[in-house]
Structure 1
Amino acid sequence: MGKNATNSTPHATRPTGGANQAGSSFIPMKSPLSLRDQLSLMKGRGLLVEDEASALSHLAESNYYRLRGYWLTLESDGAFIPGTTFDDIWEIYLLDAELRDWVWRALAPIEVKARTSFAYHMSMALGPLAHEDSNNFLSSKSHARSMGNFKRERDRALDDGVPCVVHNMGKYGDLPIWAAVEVMSMGTVSQLYGNLADSAAYPNGTSVRAAVARDFGAKPFILRSWLRHLTYVRNICAHHSRLFNRVMTTRPTMISPDSAYKGDKQFPTLLVIRRIFESSWPQRWDDLGTELSAIVGRHPGVSLAPMGFPIDWKRPLRIR
């Protein structure tokens, strides 16, 4: 691992000398450090290590550069805040892992419902191949990109022998929307929904956008934002990336009662999840809230402020 890592996200180095294979100028790559040298580097910056064997084991299983993102709140001017221990960093890491698992499980039924509602209303209003008709969408260019993604997803599923894909492709040469959503990524579903035109509607004039949004107890522009944001969060969780203290580059639009908590941290995500559960599965939110409270309770020394949690965070989430 390179010396003097100062950020949890890799960044290109400014060209100041040397040359790479293509002739561009870069500084020489840093040499790797052994696990013991990594720990020595941390200690040299003021970190207290009470159990070196345990710390080395954690470094071996979590990667120094990955772990680096978890101590950003525990350092100042390139050194650890006096009194900071390796265990302090590891507690943040464990909290983040548990929170990420909680979010992943909470997102699963939301994703399935989004696929189901989108397929149902598209097919009932516009027919089994409505997703392929660019006239149902605002931007034909965006629709073409979505269809390109879908066809790659469909072809992979066909190669993998997914039964519903093999059956429909063999019988019809195409996938009806109710089968198509089973192989679409959440990103593709979100993009298609966000690109729907108001003219994509039932005979009575109700747009598919509005019908799907009604299933989630939201307005179309709100649901569009939520699905886009939750797709972003889902991908973070799927790649086991850090949530703690992360700047969320895709922010959700908050409804008026939650507007005081808007921002680019993690608390708005939890509020969006809560709103969807209270609309779709209200009886399940109490259990999820209890789990979330227990996760936080297992790591009492970790500050929630870097994730945008207010002091009274349980109240807006309606957690007992």
Structure 2
Amino acid sequence: MPKETYTKLPKTFEEQVQLLKKRGLVIPNEKKAERILTYISYNRLSNYWYPMLKQPKEEEIFKEGSSFETIFKLYQFDSELRAITFQAIEQIEIAVRTQIIYHFSHHYNSGFWYEQSKAFSKFPSFVQFLNKITKNVQDTKQEYILKYHRKYEQFLPPSWKSFELLTFTNLLSILKNIKDNKELIPIAKSLGIHHSLLISWLDSFIYIRNITAHHGRLWNIILTIKPEWMKSPKGDWVNVWENNYNPAGHSLERVDEKDKILKFYAVLCSILYCLQFINPYNKYKDRFMQLIEKYPEVDLYHMGFPENWKEQPLWK
């Protein structure tokens, strides 16, 4: 089918409200809706009303009873969910950084272990990482690095100083390039997982963290970077982390584990699981429960929650 030329013209905020009404959306307070659209774009909000559209969704006609107020509540819920999730993943990032520094510094008996190519499996990746950390040290204005340079002759500081300048993605790149996978065992153990799951889980945490940092949507997303299922938990866990959501319409029993549709619930469970070991007194679960109580309009099914999720050991 040949592509068509985009010809839609920009609409005023008032025109946007009238268009939504024409498509069947209930808008009790049009002026309030205009104010909201003034500061939250039509396109951004459309991500939250997509499940409310009738089939075929391309016609953009709302199901009966769909309300602008519900859409805005979903948006507010998602905004607060991003905030508490960012804080939760921050704890995991700091813990992983600490474990990497501690384990490898002791394993090689040196704070400068990361300068040894023998520790890494791919030399080009090692060089790329070394260039990254060199640039970070060169560009930083952090006083503790400047103080180090005034006293010591080596340009690159030991890992317990220089690694504070690395992002979560940089840390993961180290783990992906470690020559001996057995070296991942103590780091994975600190999170309560098998070392074969470490890269997968951290990858999914970074994926979600990046969404939260760039004000993306967590509600109703389908994970494009998915954690691998854990078969032998060391702490409280769940027996399933997906519901029967499947856009292809196939029975889940016929779908391979790697092809199953995972939504935010899967990563939420993974974060909660790791926090059991990192910080048993964390408030992430409590804050999430307070959120869903504050926003009863939120349909947890669209986040991947199964029916009996509250009965799972992780949630009790």
> After the TM superposition, which of the residue ranges 290-299 and 170-179 deviates more from structure 2?
170-179
Q: 1:137 to 1:68 in 2, by over 3 A?
A: same
In the alignment, residue 118 of structure 2 is paired with which amino acid? N
2:125 pairs with 1:142: yes
Asked if 2 retains the 8 angstrom alpha-carbon contact of 1:186 and 1:231, the reply is yes
Task: Give the CA deviation at 1:219.
Answer: 1.7
Identity of aligned residues (%): 26
The one-character-per-residue Cα deviations of 1:69-123 (angstroms, maximum 9, x if unpaired) are 1111111232111111101111111111121112111112111111111111111
In the alignment, residue 77 of structure 2 is paired with which amino acid? L
Higher RCO (CA-CA < 8 Å; seq separation 6+): 2
Q: Distance in 2 between matches of 1:307 and 1:168?
A: 47
Which of the residues 273, 288, 300 maps onto 1:304?
Answer: 300
Q: Tell me, what secondary structure is at the counterpart of 1:94?
A: helix
Q: Distance in 2 between matches of 1:167 and 1:44?
A: 64
Q: Distance in 1 between matches of 2:265 and 2:119?
A: 35
Q: Distance in 1 between matches of 2:238 and 2:128?
A: 33
Task: Give the CA deviation at 1:144.
Answer: 3.3
Q: Distance in 1 between matches of 2:105 and 2:2?
A: 54
The one-character-per-residue Cα deviations of 1:180-217 (angstroms, maximum 9, x if unpaired) are 22110110101211221218xxxxxxx43112122222
Task: Give the CA deviation at 1:132.
Answer: 2.8
Q: 1:44 to 1:152 in 2, by over 3 A?
A: farther
In the alignment, residue 309 of structure 2 is paired with which amino acid? W
Q: Tell me, what secondary structure is at the counterpart of 1:70?
A: helix
Task: Give the CA deviation at 1:317.
Answer: 6.2
* Aligned twin of 2:251: none
Q: Tell me, what secondary structure is at the counterpart of 2:226?
A: coil
* Aligned twin of 1:71: 49
Task: Give the CA deviation at 1:259.
Answer: 5.9
Q: 1:175 to 1:307 in 2, by over 3 A?
A: same
* Aligned twin of 1:272: 270
* Aligned twin of 1:164: 144
Paired positions, count: 286
Q: Distance in 2 between matches of 1:155 and 1:245?
A: 42
Task: Give the CA deviation at 1:140.
Answer: 2.3
Which of the residues 113, 117, 132 maps onto 2:99?
Answer: 117
TM-score, normalising length: structure 1: 0.82
Asked if 2 retains the 8 angstrom alpha-carbon contact of 1:254 and 1:272, the reply is no
In the alignment, residue 61 of structure 1 is paired with which amino acid? Y
Q: Distance in 2 between matches of 1:311 and 1:155?
A: 53
Task: Give the CA deviation at 1:169.
Answer: 4.0
In the alignment, residue 304 of structure 1 is paired with which amino acid? L
Q: Distance in 2 between matches of 1:162 and 1:191?
A: 23
Q: Distance in 2 between matches of 1:152 and 1:244?
A: 37
Q: How does 1:62-211 map to 2 (within 5 A)?
A: 62-76=40-54, 77=56, 78-126=60-108, 127-156=110-139, 158=140, 161-170=141-150, 171=152, 172-198=154-180, 207-211=182-186
Which of the residues 207, 226, 239 maps onto 1:232?
Answer: 207
Q: Distance in 2 between matches of 1:259 and 1:153?
A: 43
Asked if 1 retains the 8 angstrom alpha-carbon contact of 2:238 and 2:313, the reply is no
Asked if 1 retains the 8 angstrom alpha-carbon contact of 2:21 and 2:27, the reply is yes
Asked if 2 retains the 8 angstrom alpha-carbon contact of 1:290 and 1:319, the reply is no
The one-character-per-residue Cα deviations of 1:207-246 (angstroms, maximum 9, x if unpaired) are 4311212222222121221111111111111111111111
2:15 pairs with 1:40: no
Q: Distance in 2 between matches of 1:97 and 1:224?
A: 27
TM-score, normalising length: structure 2: 0.83
* Aligned twin of 2:245: none
Q: Distance in 2 between matches of 1:32 and 1:169?
A: 55
Q: Tell me, what secondary structure is at the counterpart of 1:292?
A: helix
The one-character-per-residue Cα deviations of 1:270-317 (angstroms, maximum 9, x if unpaired) are 111111111222233xx3322211100111122111110112222336
* Aligned twin of 2:218: 243
Gapped regions of structure 2 (runs ≥ 5): 232-236, 243-260
2:271 pairs with 1:288: no
State the superposition RMSD in angstroms.
2.2
Asked if 2 retains the 8 angstrom alpha-carbon contact of 1:122 and 1:177, the reply is no
Q: Tell me, what secondary structure is at the counterpart of 2:281?
A: helix
Q: 1:90 to 1:169 in 2, by over 3 A?
A: same
